[in-house]
């Protein structure tokens, strides 16, 4: 070897030493096979993942994603990956909860690879983009039908090793198994013309319908409808179930549940429903997944499409056609929790003449001055409080009921970055952004903040406010015209220690609603806001579902047209 003491050789030596591929931790190569997919010759654009777990109690891919208990996983975009080609995941690949493979302690692990395929959409707004087309799983990045997965492999990982570990993506995840209908529960879906035209792709709306006692025996009877909204599910509304009802709920389980919420178990509700102890209504759960999230957030959106119109102009008429409903606003009521809690208020407020009342439980932020914890209109950064010149405080995203932070906004956004780029993670922050933000120049949702730094783009926040997604702001600006249509229709309940700080937005929402009782600001909203105290967490419910249905039926009777 020649003597290399001159300056150019020194630069070359330093470059080699600093190269990520030279100094990286162990490298993983994920490769597809020609027989892995039914469309054998098709190349795949999507996202590749490496999952690492300490145990094999279940597949590593199924041990990732849950914030507090996630095992490490790493993700990278792939474009037109041909069969037989490979994807590299190394120390330069971002991961969660470990940012890099270099941080993984030396030891034996179980590993698995997944390749999530995207669909190409030529949208009606002229943008072409790639995103995951939900296949009935509810936007689960680690368990989506059509994904390619490897076998689980036990390997020895050494952060200082230079070896390459190969994983072959040989299996395609099967379609979701459909749940059979019963005399009580019916399921169906249909193509939404409005959403399909927007995406230039077939897009469906679905329903899970719970029929009241005596429905078949009374063919001339019509019923009010209670629409329930929230994250994608195939379960029947209100937790209605026969599963496990042969077992007696233990006193300890009942006490623990009742300490958290008044909501009864699914078996207890089923027994009341099937015995006719609750009001006779048709209950309908709305399924409305998009390529960005498992819930459209029910309003028209420049990223998701015209889902507000699709639900009110297509879905509800379809329910009225298929089932014996009272097809009138006074007999259409809404309830949902968390995401669904925001949804039902948004529907009631933006489509005030379609529905007769909303009961919102622990809703997502009703006032964007409390975007969970921070004010996106005024604050500079979503990740840290910068009020002090010296002290930088991480902004919490989740707390326990004693107020201790369990994870932060930065940590949640890091997980979403690993799941997908361009706001396609199907995670909560990306879901809000897709529903409420403008379209970016590249056709994807314009970021409300930089995922790496947390710097907030106030032009995006102001666009969200202007388009009516800040429900408190929208109501306050339009109360003179909306108020008369909403009197007695707005009901909200939230725990005073909601884990996601959602009670803070409810406080602001209630402050405005109560101000409508002041001279010159009317009409008074005449609804109700309930708070669970003390120490009631996310998921707190002040009534049993039976009590909730009785309140709803009183609303229907009160607002029914006079004969």
Domains, in order of start, for the chain: 21-172 (2.60.40), 185-367+470-559 (3.40.50.1820), 369-466 (no CATH)
Cα gap 206→186, rounded to integer Å: 11
- If we measure between CA atoms, which residue out of 543, 539, 479, 473 comes closest to residue 508? 473
pLDDT of residue 37: 60
Residue pair 322/282 in contact by the 8 Å Cβ criterion: no
For Cα atoms 453, 455, 459, give the angle at the middle one, nearest 5 degrees: 150
**CA dihedral sign, ordered 351, 354, 356, 357:** negative
The per-residue pLDDT string of the chain (563 residues; one tens digit each, 9 = 90 and over) reads: 444 434 344 333 334 333 333 345 689 999 987 666 654 458 999 999 999 999 999 999 999 987 788 999 999 999 999 988 999 999 999 999 999 999 999 999 999 999 999 999 999 999 999 999 999 999 999 999 999 999 999 999 988 888 899 999 999 999 999 999 999 999 999 999 999 999 999 999 999 999 999 999 999 999 999 999 999 999 999 999 999 999 888 888 888 888 889 999 999 999 999 999 999 999 999 999 999 999 999 999 999 999 999 999 999 999 999 999 999 999 999 999 999 999 999 999 999 999 999 999 999 999 999 999 899 999 999 999 977 778 889 999 999 999 999 999 999 999 999 999 999 999 999 999 999 999 999 999 999 999 999 999 999 999 999 999 999 999 999 999 999 999 999 999 999 999 999 999 999 999 999 999 999 898 999 999 999 999 999 999 999 999 999 999 999 999 999 87
Residue 113 pairs in a beta bridge with 50
Residue 336 pairs in a beta bridge with 229, 360
Residue pair 308/298 in contact by the 8 Å Cβ criterion: yes
**E strands present in 18-106:** 27-32, 44-53, 73-81, 86-89, 95-96
pLDDT of residue 36: 61
Residue pair 142/62 in contact by the 8 Å Cβ criterion: yes
Residue pair 308/435 in contact by the 8 Å Cβ criterion: no
Local structure of 260: helix, strand or coil: helix
Residue-wise DSSP of 142-195:
TS-TT-EEEPPEEEEE-TT---EEEEEEEEEPPPPPPPPP-SSEEEEEEE-HHH
Local structure of 413: helix, strand or coil: helix
If phi > 0 it is left, if psi is from -120 to 50 it is alpha, else beta; for residue 185 that is beta
> Looking at the whole model, is its pTM more than 0.95?
no
The CA radius of gyration of the chain, in Å to the nearest whole number, is 26
Tell me whether the omega of the peptide bond preceding residue 57 falls within 30 degrees of 0, making it cis.
no
Other beta carbons within 10 angstroms of residue 546's beta carbon come to 17
Cα gap 174→3, rounded to integer Å: 60
Polymer length in residues for the chain: 563
- If we measure between CA atoms, which residue out of 121, 105, 123 comes closest to residue 45? 121
Residue 495 pairs in a beta bridge with 532
Residue-wise DSSP of 343-391:
HHHHHHHHTTTT-S-EEEESPSPSSGGGBTTB-TTT-SBSSEE-SSSS-
pLDDT of residue 18: 39
- If we measure between CA atoms, which residue out of 400, 392, 397 comes closest to residue 413? 397
pLDDT of residue 306: 98
Residue pair 433/448 in contact by the 8 Å Cβ criterion: yes
Local structure of 514: helix, strand or coil: helix
Cα gap 494→217, rounded to integer Å: 39
- If we measure between CA atoms, which residue out of 422, 418, 429 comes closest to residue 95? 418
Other beta carbons within 10 angstroms of residue 316's beta carbon come to 21
pLDDT of residue 399: 96
Cα gap 156→111, rounded to integer Å: 10
Residue pair 96/408 in contact by the 8 Å Cβ criterion: no
The CA-atom distances, in angstroms, between 339 and each of 38, 137, 170, 386, 448 are 36, 17, 36, 29, 19
Local structure of 20: helix, strand or coil: helix
């Amino acid at each position: 070897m020649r003597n290399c003491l001159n300056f150019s050789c020194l630069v070359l030596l330093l470059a080699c030493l600093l190269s990520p591929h030279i100094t990286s931790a162990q490298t993983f190569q994920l490769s597809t096979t020609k027989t892995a997919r039914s469309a054998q010759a098709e190349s795949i654009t999507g996202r590749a993942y490496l999952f690492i777990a300490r145990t094999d109690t279940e597949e590593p891919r199924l041990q990732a994603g849950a914030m507090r208990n996630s095992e490490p996983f790493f993700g990278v975009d792939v474009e037109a990956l041909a069969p037989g080609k490979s994807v590299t995941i190394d120390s330069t690949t971002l991961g969660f909860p470990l940012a890099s493979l270099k941080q993984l302690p030396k030891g034996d692990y179980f590993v698995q690879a997944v390749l999530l395929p995207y669909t190409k959409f030529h949208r009606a707004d002229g943008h072409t983009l790639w995103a995951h087309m939900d296949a009935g799983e509810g936007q689960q990045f680690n368990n989506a039908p059509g994904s390619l997965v490897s076998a689980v492999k036990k390997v020895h990982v050494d952060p200082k090793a230079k070896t390459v570990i190969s994983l072959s993506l040989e299996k395609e995840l099967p379609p979701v198994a459909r749940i059979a209908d019963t005399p009580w529960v019916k399921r169906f879906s249909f193509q939404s013309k409005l959403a399909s035209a927007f995406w230039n792709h077939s897009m469906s709306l679905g329903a899970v319908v719970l029929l009241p006692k005596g429905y078949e025996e009374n063919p001339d009877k019509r019923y009010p409808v209670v629409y329930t909204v929230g994250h994608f599910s195939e379960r029947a509304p209100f937790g209605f179930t026969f599963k496990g009802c042969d077992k007696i709920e233990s006193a300890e389980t009942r006490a623990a549940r009742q300490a958290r919420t008044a909501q009864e178990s699914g078996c207890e509700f089923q027994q009341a429903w099937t015995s006719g102890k609750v009001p006779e209504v048709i209950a309908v759960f709305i399924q409305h997944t998009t390529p960005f999230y498992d819930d459209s957030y029910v309003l028209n959106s420049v990223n998701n499409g015209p889902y507000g119109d699709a639900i009110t102009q297509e879905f509800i008429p379809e329910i009225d056609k298929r089932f014996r409903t009272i097809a009138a606003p006074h007999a259409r009521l809404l309830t949902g929790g968390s995401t669904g809690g925001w949804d039902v208020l948004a529907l009631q407020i933006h489509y005030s003449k379609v529905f007769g009342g909303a009961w919102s439980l622990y809703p997502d932020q009703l006032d964007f001055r409390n975007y969970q914890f921070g004010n996106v209109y005024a604050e500079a950064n979503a990740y840290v409080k910068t009020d002090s010149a010296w002290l930088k405080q991480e902004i919490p995203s989740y707390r326990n009921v004693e107020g201790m932070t369990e994870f932060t906004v930065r940590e949640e956004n890091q997980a979403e970055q690993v799941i997908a780029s361009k706001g396609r993670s199907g995670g909560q922050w990306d879901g809000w952004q897709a529903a409420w933000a403008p379209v970016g120049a590249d056709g994807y949702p314009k970021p409300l903040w930089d995922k790496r730094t947390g710097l907030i783009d106030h032009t995006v926040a102001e666009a969200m406010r202007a388009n009516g997604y800040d429900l408190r702001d929208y109501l306050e600006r339009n109360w003179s015209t909306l108020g008369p249509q909403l009197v007695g229709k707005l009901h909200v309940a939230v725990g005073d220690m909601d884990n996601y700080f959602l009670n803070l937005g409810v406080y602001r929402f209630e402050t405005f609603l109560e101000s409508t009782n002041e001279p010159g600001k009317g009409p008074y909203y005449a609804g109700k806001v309930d708070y669970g105290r003390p120490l009631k967490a996310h998921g707190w419910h002040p009534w049993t579902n039976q009590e909730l249905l009785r309140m709803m039926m009183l609303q229907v009777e009160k607002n029914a047209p006079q004969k």
